[in-house]
Amino acid sequence: MTVTGIISAILIGIVVGALARLLLPGRQNIGMIVTILVGIVSALIGTAIARALGLPTATRGVDWIELLVQVVVAVIGVALVASLMGRRRGGVVGGRRTGLTR
C-alpha cells in the first residue's frame, strides 16, 4: 500500500467512524481514536464485502453504495466495541455509581 493509500484509508476511516457514531442511537463510551480505528477497519471490511457482492467499487466519482456498506459495517463495529468496552468498565455489577449512599 502506498503512502497515498494509507492517508486516504485514514481519512475515509475518520469519515466512516464519525458517520457511524452519528447514526448509532444512544451514547457510546469510546474515544475518538478508537472510533477512527473502527472506522478504518470497517472501511477495509466494507470494501471487501462490496467487492465480494460484485458492487462497483472503482468509479470516477464517489462510490455511494460502497460507502453505504462501509458505514453499515462501521455502525455494527462501533456498537460492538462500545458494548465490549462498556462491559469491561462496568465491573461486576455493571451499573453506574451515582455517588449516593444508602
Whether residue 76 is contained in a domain is answered as: yes
Whether residue 10 is contained in a domain is answered as: yes
Whether residue 82 is contained in a domain is answered as: yes
Chain mean pLDDT for the chain: 79
Whether residue 101 is contained in a domain is answered as: no
pLDDT in tens, 46-91: 888 888 988 776 667 777 888 888 889 999 998 899 888 876 554 4
What average pLDDT score do residues 15-40 get? Answer: 86
Domain count, the chain: 1
CA distances from 53 to 11, 48, 57, 65 (A): 24, 9, 10, 11
Percent residues over pLDDT 90 in the chain:
5
Q: How far is CA 39 from the centre of its chain?
A: 4
Measured distance CA(46)–CA(5) in Å, rounded: 16
Give the residue numbers spanning the domain of 65.
3-89
